[in-house]
Amino acid sequence: MSEDSTRQGVLFEGLFGRPLRVRFDQPASSSDGGAVLLSALDRRLRLSSALASRLTDSRQAAKVRHSLWDLMRQRVYGLACGYEDCNDSARLRGDPVHKLLLGRDPIQGEDLASQATLSRFENSLERRALLGLGEAFAEAMVAHHRRRLGAGVRRVTIDLDVTDDPTHGSQQGSLFNGHYREHCLLPLAGFVQFGEEREHHLVALVLRPGNADARKGAVGLLRRLFRLLRKTFPKATLRVRLDGGFNGPKLLAFLERQGVEFVMGLPGNKVLERAAEGLMEDARDKARQSGESQRVYGEAGYRAGSWRRYRRVIIKAEVTRYGQRPLRDNDRYLVTNLTEDPESVYAGSYCPRGEIENRLKELQYGLKLDRLSCHAFTANQFRLLLTACAYALLQELRLQAAGTAAARWQVSTLRERLLKLGAWLQASTRRLTLHLPRDAPWQAEWRRAAASLGALPP
């Protein structure tokens, strides 16, 4: 009896007119054929090598089978392909494409690390090592964009924002947060935007306890980013854009001492409402006449009780109407040192930070940022950094797909259309050939990204 006839399979009879037999028996094949782009993206960013260079391997050399660089790449590439848990490594250890991504022979090469090895790796790092990895990530990303854009960048905008990671166990730092109404951890994310580019690039991801104030860690993170950006882009003006949760006298004073531009949300109060009343009346009159939402912009000098001096406050006096509902006041305030007219500051300089919400949703839903299931706080911080690396690769893939539809795809769409391609890998002594579906619907976008990363026509 042949080996093929004994393989497990399934049989559909009468479903398609002829019997259909299905067997999982195709050797040297993978469902992640398009993921070969990840290795080229990583090489372009010089990312995993930069982080691995900050690690010290204290294992017994005679017992080491997988280098720390390989372990890091295995997790980062797996996360980029949608395998968010270490448990997934048990199913991917022998995958030829994933072995190829780590530079191993896809057919005869040693299998990848097991779940136990990866879990020990994630739990082995201490706080000092994690700080070094966070710095290495930011430095690698900023250095890459310096190579890409040159020294002529005139403005770099820094956005910070907080997101919640719900917890369902005994993770260290898991505390109840009244705003989110759940036990959680609160990562702080930092993004940079160069000039007027659409993309906001992730450069920092810091884990914090669930009850942390939005401002916790912000000054330290900004100070490190200022130092790095000024060294890398000495001619650029730095601008900080934050929502109202970060507002406070210490942070404002810090930004002014640093000599950077800033625009920050400001919670409303009775004093600000009185200052905005004339503008609100104007907006209400226009809304009643037009029957539609209206907004009027203005400004005022304002000094909060905890401030040492007056600062410029931008007022957006808005009256909204949704369908047949009554008109509703929606006044908003910013504190800033920008000198443009109020509408330009609010609509042109501040509102684009709303794009950060889309980046955080990509991290949450596309890369399962909330899968912080380790008990140790340090292990979950390392998981955040690995996720940040995977996200950086996908952001760069989107950047390399400029001029195609893929330039606007979310990371989950990029993965499904460009990485998750069924493939058969053929190996000879001279070359490797990766056979992808001839009728793959997004092959033009894949070819464009591959060419931008150095691939040549055969």
Q: For the chain, which residues make up each domain, given as ranges?
A: 4-124+400-452
Q: Structure tokens of 408?
A: 């606007």
Lowest mean pLDDT among 18-27, 94-103, 397-406, 410-419: 18-27
Q: Structure tokens of 224?
A: 């490190």
Among candidate residues 398, 395, 373, the one with its CA nearest the CA of residue 384: 373
Tens of pLDDT, residues 226-261: 999 999 999 999 999 999 999 999 999 999 999 999
Among candidate residues 349, 402, 386, the one with its CA nearest the CA of residue 159: 349
Spell out the residues 6+ positions from residue 170 whose beta carbon is closer than 8 angstroms to its own: 375
Note whether 407 and 401 are within 8 A (CB). Answer: yes
pLDDT confidence band for 11 (50 / 70 / 90): confident
**Measured at the alpha carbon of residue 214, what is the angle toward residues 210 and 220, in degrees to the nearest 5?**
105
23 pLDDT more than 50: yes
* Entry pTM: 0.93
pLDDT reported for residue 7: 61
Secondary structure (DSSP) of 111-171: P---HHHHHHHHTS--HHHHHHHHHHHHHHHHHHHHHHHGGG--EEEEEEEE--EE--S--
CA distance 172 to 306: 34
CA distance 29 to 42: 23
pLDDT reported for residue 360: 95
State how beta strands 261-265 and 237-242 pair. parallel
101 pLDDT more than 90: yes
